[in-house]
C-alpha cells in the first residue's frame, strides 16, 4: 500500500461520489465499506444508487484504478463518511458509527496519519467523542460535505468547501487534496467552526422552508394563493422565500437542525418551532386531502393515491420522506393504507405500492402529488379527468387543487 493512497471509509451517498471523484482525478483511492453486499455490487461495476452523472464518474474512477473492499487499509490519509443518525427522543447526534470507524482506522494506521471526518456531526462532537480516542501524532480534520442529492456530481466539482483542522498544515494538506477536483474556494478553519457551519447551513434552509410552509397554512386559512404571494414577494431585491411542500425529508435538513435544539434547548427557540412546523406539514396535507375529497365528492379513501415516495424530485432516496411521514400519520387516523406510486422506487416499501403509473392512475380518483418528479410533469395529460392535489406546485393543468 502506497502512503499517498486515500482510504475512503463508508461508501454511501457521500462517500461513494467523493471516492469516485478523487480516483477520477488521479488520486489513488481504496473505498472501504462494512457492507459486503454493497462492496460486491461496486466490484461488479454497478453503482448502488441513482444520481445524475454517477455512472460516468464511476467508469472514470475505475479507469483511475479505484478498488473496493471491506477492509481498512494502512495508509496516511483516511476520509470517513459513515452515517450519523440522531436519537429521535433526545434529538442528539448518535456518533457511534463515526466513533467505530475512527477506532478501526486507529487499529491499522501509522502514528502520523490524518483522519478526515466528512460525516455531519453536531458542534463539539469531535472534541467530546473522537479526540479522546486519538493518540499523539495523528491529525484530525473535519471537512463536512455540502453536495445536494440530484446534482451531486456538479456540486462536488463546483461548491466551495470548509476544512476544519487543529493544525493549519494538516488543514492545508487536506485542502490541496480536495483541490485535486474541487474548483470552488476551500476555506481552512478550526474543527468546531467547521462542525457548526455545516449544521447552521442546513438549519438556515430548514427554517426558511418552515416559513414557506407556515405561509401556506396562513394563505389557506385566508383564502389566498401562497404561490402567487411568494412569486411577487420574491421580486423584492432582498426577499427570497423557498417553496412550501408536503413536508421535509432527506437525511440532512430534517435531521441536522435537531442537533442544535438537542444541545441548546433553551436557546434554539426559532429552530425548534421551525422543525415542528415542518414535521407537522404531512398532517396539514392529510387535512387538505380530506377537504379535497369532500369538494370532489370522493368518499372512499382507497380511491386516493399518493404520487411520489422519495423525499424530493428525481432522486431514489426515501429517507424521512414526507410520503412515509404522511402514511404513518394517516395510519393512526384512517386505517386504510393509501395507494402509492413512485417511478424511482423499485422495492416494495409500503403496502398498496404500485410499480406502473397507468395501473396506479386507473385505480385512483384523487391523485396527491407528493413529489414533483420530471415524469409526472412531462406526463401530466394522463391526470386529465382526475381530481388532483398538487403539493409541489409543478402542474399546469386547470382545476388542480393546491396546498
- Find out whether 241 and 230 touch, Cβ atoms under 8 Å: yes
**Minimum distance from residue 76 beta carbon to ligand SAJ (Å):** 27
**Minimum distance from residue 353 beta carbon to ligand SAJ (Å):** 19
Half-sphere exposure of 346 (CA within 13 A, CB side): 2
Secondary structure element (H or E) that encloses residue 389, with its range: strand 387-390
From the candidates 252, 318, 339, 391, give the one annotated as an active-site residue: 252
The residues, ordered by sequence, that sit 6+ positions from 314 with a Cβ below 8 Å of its Cβ are 52, 150, 344, 373, 374
Quick one: 12 or 65, whose CB is closer to ligand SAJ?
12
Q: What gap in Å lies between CA 31 and CA 5, rounded to an integer?
A: 10
Quick one: 138 or 309, whose CB is closer to ligand SAJ?
309
**Cell, residue 67:** 478498488
- Find out whether 275 and 204 touch, Cβ atoms under 8 Å: no
- Find out whether 194 and 142 touch, Cβ atoms under 8 Å: yes
C-alpha distances in Å from residue 20, one per residue of 31, 146, 192, 314, 315: 9, 16, 28, 21, 19
For the question of residue 91 being annotated catalytic, the response is no
Quick one: 73 or 350, whose CB is closer to ligand SAJ?
350
Q: What gap in Å lies between CA 65 and CA 25, rounded to an integer?
A: 11
**Cell, residue 209:** 422552508
**Cell, residue 384:** 386529465
Q: What gap in Å lies between CA 390 and CA 371, rounded to an integer?
A: 9
Q: What gap in Å lies between CA 135 and CA 316, rounded to an integer?
A: 40
Quick one: 7 or 81, whose CB is closer to ligand SAJ?
81
From the candidates 198, 219, 318, 391, give the one annotated as an active-site residue: 198
Q: Count of residues for the chain?
A: 403
Q: What gap in Å lies between CA 200 and CA 257, rounded to an integer?
A: 7
Q: What gap in Å lies between CA 12 and CA 357, rounded to an integer?
A: 29
**Minimum distance from residue 365 beta carbon to ligand SAJ (Å):** 25
Q: Which residues pair with 306 in a beta bridge?
A: 340, 368
- Collapse the DSSP code of 186 into the 3-class scheme (helix H, G, I; strand E, B; otherwise coil) and give the result: strand
For the question of residue 252 being annotated catalytic, the response is yes
Quick one: 28 or 282, whose CB is closer to ligand SAJ?
282
Quick one: 106 or 242, whose CB is closer to ligand SAJ?
242
- b/e burial code for range 180-194 (CB count within 10 A of at least 16 → b): ebbeeebebbebeeb
Quick one: 253 or 350, whose CB is closer to ligand SAJ?
253
Of 217, 65, 94, 193, the residue nearest 141 (C-alpha): 193
**Minimum distance from residue 393 beta carbon to ligand SAJ (Å):** 10
**Minimum distance from residue 319 beta carbon to ligand SAJ (Å):** 9
**Minimum distance from residue 205 beta carbon to ligand SAJ (Å):** 4
**Minimum distance from residue 253 beta carbon to ligand SAJ (Å):** 4
Kindly list the residues in this chain that would bind ligand SAJ in the complex (CB under 6 A): 120, 145-149, 201-202, 205, 209, 242-243, 245, 248-250, 252-253, 311-312
Quick one: 146 or 339, whose CB is closer to ligand SAJ?
146
- Range list of H helices, 187-268: 191-222, 226-233, 256-263
Q: Could you list the active site residues?
A: 198, 252
Amino acid at each position: 500500500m502506497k502512503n499517498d493512497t486515500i482510504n475512503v471509509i463508508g461508501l454511501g451517498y457521500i462517500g461513494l461520489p467523493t471516492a469516485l471523484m478523487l480516483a477520477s482525478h488521479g488520486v489513488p483511492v481504496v473505498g472501504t465499506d462494512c457492507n459486503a453486499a454493497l462492496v460486491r455490487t461496486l466490484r461488479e461495476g454497478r453503482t448502488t444508487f441513482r444520481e445524475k452523472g454517477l455512472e460516468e464518474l464511476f467508469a472514470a474512477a475505475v479507469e483511475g484504478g479505484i478498488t473496493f473492499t471491506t477492509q481498512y487499509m494502512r495508509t496516511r490519509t483516511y476520509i470517513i463518511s459513515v452515517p450519523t443518525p440522531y436519537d429521535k427522543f433526545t434529538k442528539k447526534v448518535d456518533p457511534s458509527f463515526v466513533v467505530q470507524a475512527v477506532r478501526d482506522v486507529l487499529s491499522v494506521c501509522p502514528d502520523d496519519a490524518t483522519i478526515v471526518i466528512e460525516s455531519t456531526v453536531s458542534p463539539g462532537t469531535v472534541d467530546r467523542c473522537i479526540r479522546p480516542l486519538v493518540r499523539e501524532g495523528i491529525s484530525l480534520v473535519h471537512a463536512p460535505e455540502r453536495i445536494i442529492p440530484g446534482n451531486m456530481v456538479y456540486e462536488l466539482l463546483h461548491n466551495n468547501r470548509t476544512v476544519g483542522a487543529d493544525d493549519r498544515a494538516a488543514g492545508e494538506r487536506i485542502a490541496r487534496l480536495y483541490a485535486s477536483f474541487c474548483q470552488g474556494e476551500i476555506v481552512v478553519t478550526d474543527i468546531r467552526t467547521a462542525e457548526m457551519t455545516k449544521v447552521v447551513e442546513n438549519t438556515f434552509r430548514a427554517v426558511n422552508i418552515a416559513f414557506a410552509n407556515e405561509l401556506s397554512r396562513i394563505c389557506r386559512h385566508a383564502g389566498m394563493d401562497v404561490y402567487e404571494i411568494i412569486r411577487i414577494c420574491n421580486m423584492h431585491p432582498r426577499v427570497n422565500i423557498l417553496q412550501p411542500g408536503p413536508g421535509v425529508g432527506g437525511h440532512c435538513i430534517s435531521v441536522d437542525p435537531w442537533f442544535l435544539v438537542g444541545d441548546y434547548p433553551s436557546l434554539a427557540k426559532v429552530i425548534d418551532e421551525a422543525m415542528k412546523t415542518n414535521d407537522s406539514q404531512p398532517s396539514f396535507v392529510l387535512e387538505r386531502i380530506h377537504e379535497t375529497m369532500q369538494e370532489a365528492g370522493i368518499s372512499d379513501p382507497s380511491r386516493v393515491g399518493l404520487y411520489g415516495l422519495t423525499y424530493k424530485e428525481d432522486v431514489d432516496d426515501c429517507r424521512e420522506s414526507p410520503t412515509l411521514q404522511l402514511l404513518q400519520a394517516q395510519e393512526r387516523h384512517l386505517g386504510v393504507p393509501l395507494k402509492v406510486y413512485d417511478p424511482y422506487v423499485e422495492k416494495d416499501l409500503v403496502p398498496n405500492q404500485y410499480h406502473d403509473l397507468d395501473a396506479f392512475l386507473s385505480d385512483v380518483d384523487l391523485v396527491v402529488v407528493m413529489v414533483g418528479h420530471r415524469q409526472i410533469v412531462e406526463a401530466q395529460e394522463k391526470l386529465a379527468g382526475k381530481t388532483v392535489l398538487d403539493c409541489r406546485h409543478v402542474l399546469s393543468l386547470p382545476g388542480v387543487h393546491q396546498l
